[in-house]
Amino acid sequence: MPWGMVGGAMLVSLLFSIQACKPKGVQSAVSGDSAVKAYVPPGKYDEFYNFVSGGFSGQMSVYGLPSGRLFRVIPVFSVDPEKGWGYAEETKPMLNTSHGFVPWDDLHHPALSVTDGIHDGRWAFGNANNTPRIARIDLKTFRTAEIIEIPNSGGNHSSPFITENTEYVVAGTRFSVPMGDKVDVPIKTYKENFRGTVSFISVDQTSGEMKIAFQILLPGINFDLSRAGKGKSHGWFFFSCYNSERANTLLEVNASQKDKDFIMAVNWKKAEEYVKAGKGVKKNVKYAHNVYDEEKHIATSKMENEVIMLDPKDCPDMVYFMPCPKSPHGCDTDPSGEYIVGSGKLAALIPVFSFTKIQEAIASKNFEGDYEGIPVLKYDAVLHGEVKKPGLGPLHTEFDANGFAYTSFFVSSEIVKWRVSDLQVVDRVPTYYSIGHLCVPGGPTKKPWGKYVIAYNKITKDRYLPTGPELTQSAQLYSIDGDKMQLLLDFPTIGEPHYAEAIPAEMIMKNSKKIYKLEENKNPHAALGEKEARVERKGNEVHVYMTSIRSHFVPDNIEGVKVGDQVYFHVTNLEQDWDVPHGFAVKGANNAELLIMPGETQTLLWKPDRVGVFPMYCTDFCSALHQEMQGYVRVSPAGANVPLTFSTGDQQ
């Protein structure tokens, strides 16, 4: 590298005081117009919404692009005391599972709904990796509307990727597990007793409601990531698989023995036919299906007990394996649907498969053998070609609309841009540091929106002010408008960011719900107007039907509550103006606050544990007289004869 360039780059860095670490090359320097390109002036909107997985926070975060500003953390699989998620009586059932209430999970992959392979802005899906589940988030409200548990699964990682018209979201097992009647088995009997599954969960096109349509029983290997076919490959689904060694211990070594693992191709249209023809077997299972009712503001959890299982042995021409080098991770289809990019975590090349060639190889039975009864196609017969020496440790690939692919490289910590047609590398930029997933707006769809690629990094080290041993997670924004990728911005993220998707702001914001209409509030505990506010006792349950409006509660003085009572505060926010939530908290409550949107009713359960007078107040600054929005509950001894009374001002 010419010294002049290095000097120039370093001087630029110095003068702009942006770059803290030593640049590896000229392209790592932040050039002069970066700030302008990522700058969104005060009061102006971003171009894109960026839905980013919250990783081990269990939530999904929403950022603006190009500014990197955080707008919202959507509570999904983890409780969120700030919003009362999982604490309010109405939302507790959302976190119910066959294991009971589970307050945490690990969300890795958002997937935005599509119609004809193009973003449609209806829903975002997310996976729970630990206790296998899929969530659907309604993009009108930015709230989790539904969570379905996945039975016969361990580690729901290759999920929730979606088909071209959101017909299905999928769930593939990372951990194979023993299933059925024989589950108490020695772990070392892995090869005999452990099996994997992939589940196809249908999505109702009107309500969005999910249902497990069928599962496919598979050998005990690890399913990692997946992508639906699109365009010409619509009707197929591709899953990357590792651990074809079927190791059950020290996978780091034992699952890295073979030169090649697989990408699995599933003909799901064929699977649908087999289900219709009754080839599936009904299996007894137990899984929770939780739905949030938008009009009642209440979630219900229902336990389901059956799935239809397809066994490839009874269903020929449904599942094929394609050899793929070195523990493939990412498995991504290009916008045309012709090319499937596999990324071996330990490989130093990127194989690109051709859908046309896959079809030809299947037609001519060009197999190299079978794996546990499933045909294995010949590598050379299905290969479009290999990207040679692109970098070390390819993970994931996204696409733009101009025929280019962008692949993340964890080991060599860079994004590599290459041309899909001739597999030539055209550009590369370093990431700081150790990129995992990456995102081009619309990158997994038939119509990429382009403009940016965002790197979601695993390590931040020296990029931000240190905060003790635990550092922030981070993303980096690059412009891809020109021939050369250009670093524009670093921004911190919550949890650990895995996958993310970005969608033009216009497609979401025009549908964004502003209030819940009081006229449509069907919560059975709602107090629709102060005239309906009251307190009722049913045995040891005390139900407070409370209203809040700027800036008072009705009622705000309550007496006659006794130690041992269960007090339910059903709070209805009577506001009908956007951005006027009220909060509710009472001293000593062992759960959380409520945050009640305009027109909404939410319920907090309080079990007073001692005699006294307990303050309650509005927690969300609502008006100049917010600090006056408060009240008292008097709690008397268990046997006391204090009558139940309630009031606000002089109104009894």
Partner 1 sequence: MKNQIIAVLGLGLVSILLVQCKGGVKEDLPQVDFEAIEKSQPEVHGTLIKDEDITLGNPLNEEWVKGGENIYNLKCLACHKLTEEKLVGPGWKGLTKTRKPAWIMNMITNVETMLESDEEAQKLLEQCLVRMPNQNVSKEEARQILEFMRKNDGEM
Q: Is 1 in the site for partner 1 (CB under 8 A)?
A: no
Chain residues 61-120 in contact with partner 1, contact rule CB under 8 A? none
Q: Is 510 in the site for partner 1 (CB under 8 A)?
A: yes
Q: Is 550 in the site for partner 1 (CB under 8 A)?
A: yes
- Provide the pairing of β-strand 414-419 with 96-97: unpaired
Quick one: tokens of 206?
A: 């009107």
Q: Is 528 in the site for partner 1 (CB under 8 A)?
A: yes
Q: Is 576 in the site for partner 1 (CB under 8 A)?
A: yes
Query: E strands within 150-194?
Result: 154-156, 168-175
Q: What is the number of alpha carbons within 13 Å of residue 402 lying toward its C-beta?
A: 11
Minimum CB distance to partner 1 smaller for 246 or for 550: 550
Taking the complex as a whole, the smallest distance from the CB of residue 481 to partner 1 amounts, in Å, to 5
Quick one: tokens of 164?
A: 């071209």
Cα–Cα distances in angstroms (integers) from residue 245 to residues 143, 174, 221, 242, in the given order: 41, 14, 8, 8
Q: Is 504 in the site for partner 1 (CB under 8 A)?
A: yes
Quick one: tokens of 631?
A: 């009240």
Site map 607..636 versus partner 1, x via CB under 8 A: ----------------xxx-----------
Residues 343/330, Cβ–Cβ less than 8 Å: yes
The separation between the first and the last C-alpha atoms of the chain, rounded to the nearest angstrom, is 83
Chain residues 291-310 in contact with partner 1, contact rule CB under 8 A? none
Edge-to-edge strand ranges of the sheet holding 48-53: 70-74, 60-65, 48-53, 500-504
- Provide the pairing of β-strand 557-562 with 630-636: parallel
Taking the complex as a whole, the smallest distance from the CB of residue 599 to partner 1 amounts, in Å, to 8
Q: Is 578 in the site for partner 1 (CB under 8 A)?
A: yes
Which part of the chain contacts partner 1 (CB under 8 A), choosing from 153-161, 301-309, 381-389, 446-454? 446-454
Q: Is 256 in the site for partner 1 (CB under 8 A)?
A: no
Looking at 40, 275, 381, 426, which residue binds partner 1 (CB under 8 A)?
Answer: 40
Minimum CB distance to partner 1 smaller for 124 or for 508: 508
Q: Is 14 in the site for partner 1 (CB under 8 A)?
A: no
CA distance 81 to 283: 38
Q: Is 41 in the site for partner 1 (CB under 8 A)?
A: yes
CA distance 261 to 177: 19
Number of residues that this document lists for the chain: 652
Taking the complex as a whole, the smallest distance from the CB of residue 221 to partner 1 amounts, in Å, to 40
Quick one: tokens of 35?
A: 């700030």
CA distance 175 to 221: 8
Q: Is 276 in the site for partner 1 (CB under 8 A)?
A: no
Nearest to 33 by CA among 443, 489, 362: 489
Minimum CB distance to partner 1 smaller for 253 or for 625: 625
Looking at 346, 392, 515, 640, which residue binds partner 1 (CB under 8 A)?
Answer: 515
Minimum CB distance to partner 1 smaller for 41 or for 278: 41
Looking at 69, 269, 531, 534, which residue binds partner 1 (CB under 8 A)?
Answer: 531
Nearest to 132 by CA among 215, 191, 254: 215
Looking at 293, 422, 577, 609, which residue binds partner 1 (CB under 8 A)?
Answer: 577
Q: Which is it for the CA torsion 283, 284, 286, 289, positive or negative?
A: positive
Q: Is 511 in the site for partner 1 (CB under 8 A)?
A: no
Taking the complex as a whole, the smallest distance from the CB of residue 64 to partner 1 amounts, in Å, to 12
Looking at 481, 536, 541, 609, which residue binds partner 1 (CB under 8 A)?
Answer: 481
Angle at 601 between CA 598 and CA 603, to 5 degrees: 135
Minimum CB distance to partner 1 smaller for 459 or for 515: 515
Q: Is 25 in the site for partner 1 (CB under 8 A)?
A: no
Q: Is 37 in the site for partner 1 (CB under 8 A)?
A: yes
Which part of the chain contacts partner 1 (CB under 8 A), choosing from 210-218, 330-338, 490-498, 547-555? 547-555
Q: Is 36 in the site for partner 1 (CB under 8 A)?
A: yes
Taking the complex as a whole, the smallest distance from the CB of residue 451 to partner 1 amounts, in Å, to 7
**Long-range contacts of range 75-78, CB-CB < 8 Å, 24 or more positions apart?**
75/144, 76/105, 76/107, 76/126, 76/135, 76/137, 76/144, 76/147, 77/102, 77/104, 77/105, 77/106, 77/107, 77/126, 77/128, 77/133, 77/135, 77/147, 78/103, 78/104, 78/105
Taking the complex as a whole, the smallest distance from the CB of residue 338 to partner 1 amounts, in Å, to 20
Q: CB under 8 Å to 637, separation ≥6 — which residues?
A: 562, 563, 611
Q: Is 401 in the site for partner 1 (CB under 8 A)?
A: yes
Binding site for partner 1 (CB under 8 A): 4, 7-8, 11-12, 15-16, 31-33, 35-37, 39-41, 44-45, 47, 401, 447, 449-451, 481, 504-507, 509-510, 514-515, 517-519, 528-531, 547, 549-552, 554, 574-578, 580, 623-625, 649
